[in-house]
Amino acid sequence: MKIFILITAIITLLSGCAGPLRIDSSKSAKSQESRVQFLILHYTALDLPTSLRVLTEQGVSSHYLLGDDAATTLYRLVDEDRLAYHAGLSDWRGHSRLNAGSIGIEIVNLGYQDTSEGRVYPAFPQAQIDKLIILVKDIVARHQIRPENILAHSEIAPQRKPDPGPKFPWKQLADAGLIPWPDEQQVSVKQAEYEQQLPDIAWFQQRLLQHGYATPQNGLLDEPTRKVLIAFQTRYRPENFDGMPDAATAALLDVITSKLR
């Protein structure tokens, strides 16, 4: 019994001597970078109070929520070094399930409303876009996110998501130097060529895949392929996003993907 008590006392003493784990952080590896590779933009399809409640109390979340109120209130809901549940099942250039490597920004916008005159999309207030651009510039600078990896939810999940929709002003992000944009003169020249001879569906599918979209490669204008075309057109030609492979879409795809070859 005395031996048992002695052993217990020694173990207790040694445990006490160990103390808390001490980590020396005075050295830092040269070879490292941020885990964040993508920045994904969304609309909430809800008003500000409901968006805030859903994104803080339910099973979805985002790193930031940008309001449409007079002050364009900006909330940080998840720290950037933590994973937020905003992308869901997603794919871009072979990367899947992008939650783990992305920052998500939810923008308060009602999305669309179906009326007797058709579907109506509300505009994004300019003050909201101005603040968004400041936020995106800050995030991109800190994480060194590549311009081609600033994406719409509809681009990484074209089969199930339409946001941030045709009213989102991607061209303003391009003018701010944040994303690449096809040269209008080159597009015009190519469009004239493709109006004479339109490529087949397999060509469109190959170029969409090359650009980054998860796209069927079956040579058929099926519903999944049309949804990818809609996602592409919504970003680069929002005045007509019918999902049809026309000369203007071919020209945009040609100019954009030619820089990747």
Answer with the one of 130, 156, 175 that is the final residue of a domain. 175
Q: Residue 227 maps to which CATH number?
A: 1.10.101.10
User: For the chain, what is the domain count?
Assistant: 2
Do 203 and 110 have their domain in common? no
Strand arrangement of the beta sheet that strand 150-152 belongs to? 74-76, 64-66, 102-107, 38-43, 150-152
Do 134 and 205 have their domain in common? no
The answer on pLDDT for 122 being more than 70 is: yes
Within a domain: residue 148?
Answer: yes
How high is the pLDDT of residue 168?
98
The answer on pLDDT for 15 being more than 70 is: no
The catalytic residue among 57, 106, 117, 148 is 106
Do 49 and 151 have their domain in common? yes
The answer on pLDDT for 27 being more than 70 is: yes
Do 140 and 206 have their domain in common? no
Within a domain: residue 6?
Answer: no
Within a domain: residue 212?
Answer: yes
Over residues 10-34, mean pLDDT = 73
Over residues 130-138, mean pLDDT = 98
Over residues 28-32, mean pLDDT = 87
19 confidence band (pLDDT: 50, 70, 90): low
Over residues 154-163, mean pLDDT = 98
Over residues 226-245, mean pLDDT = 98
Do 62 and 168 have their domain in common? yes
Cα separation, 255 vs 261, in Å, equals 11
β-partners of residue 119 are: 114
The answer on pLDDT for 239 being more than 60 is: yes
Do 81 and 59 have their domain in common? yes
The answer on pLDDT for 28 being more than 90 is: no
Domain that holds residue 156: 38-175
31 confidence band (pLDDT: 50, 70, 90): confident
Within a domain: residue 7?
Answer: no
Do 55 and 168 have their domain in common? yes
Q: Residue 53 maps to which CATH number?
A: 3.40.80.10
The mean predicted confidence, pLDDT, of the chain is 93
The answer on pLDDT for 107 being more than 90 is: yes
How high is the pLDDT of residue 13?
46
How high is the pLDDT of residue 82?
97
Over residues 85-107, mean pLDDT = 96
Do 56 and 139 have their domain in common? yes
The answer on pLDDT for 113 being more than 50 is: yes
Answer with the one of 156, 175, 194 that is the final residue of a domain. 175
The answer on pLDDT for 242 being more than 50 is: yes
Catalytic residue list contains 80: no
| Residue 7 vs residue 99, higher pLDDT | 99
The answer on pLDDT for 12 being more than 80 is: no
Cα separation, 59 vs 163, in Å, equals 19
Do 159 and 225 have their domain in common? no
Question: Is the bond leading into 164 cis (omega within 30 degrees of zero)?
Answer: yes
- Report the percent of the chain where pLDDT is more than 90: 87
Helical segments of the chain, H only: 2-18, 48-57, 126-143, 153-156, 170-175, 184-196, 201-211, 223-236, 247-258
Cα separation, 58 vs 78, in Å, equals 13
DSSP single-letter state for residue 84 = -
How high is the pLDDT of residue 14?
47
